[in-house]
Structure 1
Amino acid sequence: MPDHEEKLVGEFPFVPKQERAQQKRNALIESGYALFNTKGYEQTTAKEIAAHAGVATGTFYRYFSDKRQLLMSLLEDKLEKFLPPEPSWMTNDPETVLASLLEAHYHRRNELGLQRVLPELMTKDSELAEVLGVARRKIHDRMLSGLKQASESGLTWPDIDLDTVTWAIMVLVENGLERQNQSGKKVDCQELARVICRMVFPPEVLEHLQKSELENKE
């Protein structure tokens, strides 16, 4: 998403080339990352980020126009990693494959952090909301295309609206970490994959696919 990233990040006041200056800039980014994760975006100030990094507030503004620009530089190249993975419906064991994809997705999300920052910003930053919206629609369209292929092969429930199912899957996956934070229990990716696959496939189809997978392994 290069065009959108340029719009989100904007032009930096100064891009360091010397190693010492790069270290100061990196320290500010790491400081912002830590404070955004612990305090949230609104409660974090540029002055606090600078102090946490051990530099003067003026140094912060040498490298970043404001705290938003620092945050967007953190998010650069990472936005799509916050969004649901694209399932593979045409496999012999879609439930197991999906569970594996979900495990990897939530692991990436936990590594990236910033869980509390994005929801906080979505209602206040229209540019970020637009970029995430475009990314979500792309994933929706790819997921829907895969479901249509499965439907044309006679694998899905014949009477479901695939567009609605696609959005429902995205909501279930996106809310997984929020439920985890509220309950304190790790997302059960196998159970979530089971629920999603029951939405898509009739029981006899899933059973047939799983039997085919076992036969292929023997």
Structure 2
Amino acid sequence: MARTTGSDGARTEEAIREAAVALIAARGFEATTLREIADKVGVQPGTIYRYFPSKAQLLVALLVEHLEYLLESWSTAQPRTDDPVERLRAFVAFHIRSHTLRRREAFVANMELRSLSPADRARVVALRRRYEDLLTGILRDGIARGAFRLPDARIATFAILAMLTGVGAWYREGGRLDKHALIDTYTRLTLQCAGAESAPPAAAARTTRRQALALAKTTA
């Protein structure tokens, strides 16, 4: 049977991706079957093969999509300034907003890299490295300008990303902290980690609002 084309095909593919993310996030890749994904979408298992040659390729598509989303969204959301402190503030706000908005996608991308073949893992790791390099570039620029006091920008990158990404594991809307307070807290922690003095609150507020608007456009 020919693959569905047009808007119906796009909707089916998106439904398959969403179902796969939900099931893999809840049960893990190995424990999730294509039949379960098909049942959740309401299609026959064979339908999935029209879009993804295998369960492994479906996982690759999910991880690639998430990382490309981060890269493309940041290219739009990043502030128009060369101030490394403001850029770091913006990156923290962007990372937290995107990872709380796409909690399951982020979880799968971080936990299921181990399930990929060596070739597929290399492809995904290359994309992840590009995203990591964005933060490393900000930190190195800040070190060069005297704004940050860090012995190793690359190690700091791994430490900061681990801290920020971990938000998705515990943060829930409606809890003690709202999103703005969460971002403010983690921004302060990140600046302390970088050895930077806090930027003026007004600048931080402008950055947070700009990131929120840019991120909303990319997910509309």
Aligned ranges 1:115-194 → 2 under 5 Å: 115-125=106-116, 126-157=118-149, 160-180=151-171, 188-194=182-188
Residue number in structure 1 paired with 2:35:
47
Q: TM-score, length-normalised on structure 1?
A: 0.64
Tell me if structure 2 keeps the 8 A contact 1:14–1:63. no
- CA gap of 1:154–1:123, structure 2 versus 1, over 3 A, is same
| Offset of residue 196 of structure 1 | 1.6
Report the CA distance shift for 1:48/1:180 in structure 2 as closer, same or farther (over 3 A). Answer: same
1:67 aligns with 2:58: no
Tell me the number of residue pairs that the alignment of Structure 1 and Structure 2 aligns: 192
Q: Find the aligned partners of 1:59 and 1:47 in 2 and give their Cα distance.
A: 10
Aligned CA RMSD, in angstroms, stands at: 4.0
Question: In 2, distance between residues paired with 1:23 and 1:137?
Answer: 31
Q: Establish whether residue 200 from structure 1 lines up as the match of residue 191 from structure 2.
A: no
Any unmatched runs of 5+ in structure 2?
205-220
Task: Report the identity percentage.
Answer: 22
Give the conservation status (yes or no) of the 8 Å contact 1:28–1:49. yes
Alignment check: 8 A CA contact 1:46 1:57 kept? yes
Distance 1:165 1:15, change over 3 A: same
1:12-33 deviation digits (Å, cap 9, x = unpaired): x964326655555454344333
- State the structure with bigger RCO (CA 8 A, min sep 6), 1 or 2: 2
Supply the distance in 2 between the matched residues of 1:128 and 1:179 (Cα, whole angstroms): 29
Report if aligned partners of 2:34, 2:45 keep a CA contact under 8 Å in 1.
yes
For the pair shown, the structure with the greater C-alpha radius of gyration is 1
1:104 equivalent to 2:94? Answer yes
8 Å contact from structure 2 (residues 96, 165) kept in 1: no
Gaps of 5+ in 1: 1-12
